Amino acid sequence: MAGAVEVQHTALTLTDHLPVLQVAIPFLAAPLIVLVGNRTFAWVLSFVASALALVISFLLLMAVYDGGYISYALGGWEPPWGIEYRVDAANALILFLISAIGTVVLPFAYPSVKAELKTTSHTLFYACYMLCFTGLLGVVVTGDAFNVFVFLEISSLSTYVLIAVGAERDKRALTAAYDYLIMGTIGATFFVIGIGFLYIATGTLNMADMSDRIADQGSNRAVRAGFAFIIVGMGLKVAMYPLHLWLPKAYTFAPSAVTIFLSATATKAAIYVLLRFMFTVYKPEFVFETNTSLLVFMPLAVIAMFSASFVAAFQVNFKRMLAYSSVAQVGYMLLGIALLNQTGLTATMVHMFNHGITKALLFMGAGAMFYYTGSAFYDKLGGLGRKMPITGACILIGGLSLIGVPGTAGFVSKWILVQAAFENGWWPVAIAIVLSSLLAVVYVWRAVEVLYLTPPAKNSTAKEAPLMMLIPMIILAGSCVYFGIFTDLPLGASETAANVLMNGTNGELLR
């Protein structure tokens, strides 16, 4: 079994190779799509690869759900000498989210891409989609700090292309991609400089080994400098306020399928990297000592929750409103980190999952309406909730989850976040969570008013979305309700993950 101490050569069964297959399958699909060059084959292969990745991620999540971790040594080189893939509850949940969203987006993408992109761009789109998918999975599963940077660049470079192809309908996609390129490159540069400082101080790139060596460094200046660079670099990738300016344009002008996938996965993978470095590599004691959470994350998170929600309320473009809402929701996730208790980390983990499915659902609804109108501006969407009843109902469910109405997934994570604030005795923070959620009522209601209470545009030809768009929306809408009532999977995994991160209790090596 690869990665286990008892057997140091080759894995014995296919199951033992699941961590590397998680990344290898979509990675191999990308060049195969380009080689064949058939757009129908490109979609089929992308869907099969992502579905296999989903099955693998679910098996990995079930294996580590109650604790423990899986270590996979690439090439039989035992860590810390070789590259290690390490899976525990913290990253298994995010792997499952990325794989699930990547799979459910593809049926929606088939008609959406045909409507929004030229036929000659379809093969390129699916190849880049697979590369982006691979990069995000690799960022989450690897236990090697430099490999995090490598996979981050794979996902980022493909993302720039995916956003830029939206220029076929709106040239502003080019400036959105360029802005993201500049900001993403700065973020990646800061991150890799931070990794360089850590390598200077520890002489290793394996994150578990790095953690042990940092514990012996004391107040080493290189260790502290590395921490600062990593926080700023990943803050850009996370779209942490005020480093978020690239996100609204990228989400607004990218093709609909790209926006759906990125909004549900990209910032979640970046937040996972922040969590992994803050609580696994550096340990909570270091974070307490530097006051990073209290002095940096706490004020910026609260500002994001209110300012981004306030800006969202005044948007006249549905997609842009949802983009600013994402900045506000990132604030909630960072607030859970800033509380520096296990309940807060649980809230962050479960909100990453719940917001992922909620925001993917809402952007799907926007994409389904864009399919007919060619616009996401409110003046083009009047009355479409009545002309597209299933799509409108799905958007309504997503909006209720975004607000945090009881019975939806969004309520669960916000309720736990309020509990975490009270656990620290910080009742003003709990009040801030409730008040910012009320702002969400404002911008969600505005969208509902447009869809249901505004007369339809004259000569509108809109009708219910195609079946391949409806099925993913219904699945995600059902998930928002299901996980709002039956919380065992995301909440149980999040509690185990928070215990791993906060207390460093990985449990036993499973294989």
What is the span of the domain harbouring residue 427?
A: 14-503
pLDDT one-digit tens code per residue, 247-278: 899 999 999 999 999 999 999 999 999 999 98
Arithmetic mean of pLDDT, 221-246:
89
**105 in a structural domain:** yes
Backbone angles phi, psi at 69, to 5 degrees: -150, 160
**510 in a structural domain:** no
**511 in a structural domain:** no
**471 in a structural domain:** yes
**508 in a structural domain:** no
How many domains in the chain? 1
pLDDT at 488 (0 to 100): 87
**4 in a structural domain:** no
CB atoms within 10 A of CB 424: 15
Arithmetic mean of pLDDT, 52-66:
92
pLDDT one-digit tens code per residue, 431-457: 999 999 899 999 999 999 999 988 877
pLDDT at 3 (0 to 100): 40
Per the CB < 8 A criterion, the answer to whether 19 and 141 are in contact is yes
- Has residue 64 got a pLDDT over 80? yes
Average predicted confidence (pLDDT) for the chain: 88
DSSP string for 385-424: HHHSHHHHHHHHHHHHHHHT-TTSHHHHHHHHHHHHHHHT
- Has residue 462 got a pLDDT over 80? no
**7 in a structural domain:** no
CA 137/CA 266 separation, integer angstroms? 10
pLDDT one-digit tens code per residue, 14-55: 778 889 999 999 999 999 999 988 888 999 999 999 999 999
Arithmetic mean of pLDDT, 5-17:
55
Looking at per-residue confidence, does 286 or 241 come out higher?
241
CA 290/CA 181 separation, integer angstroms? 31
Please state which of the ranges 102-106, 167-171, 254-258 shows the lowest mean pLDDT: 167-171
Start-to-end CA distance of the chain, whole Å, equals 6
Residue 40 CA to its chain's centroid (Å): 27
The CA–CA distances, whole Å, from 447 to 16, 163, 254, 444, 466 equal: 48, 25, 20, 5, 22
pLDDT band, residue 69 (cuts 50/70/90): confident
**8 in a structural domain:** no
CA 353/CA 99 separation, integer angstroms? 12
Phi-psi region of 508 (alpha: psi -120 to 50; beta: other; left: phi over 0): beta
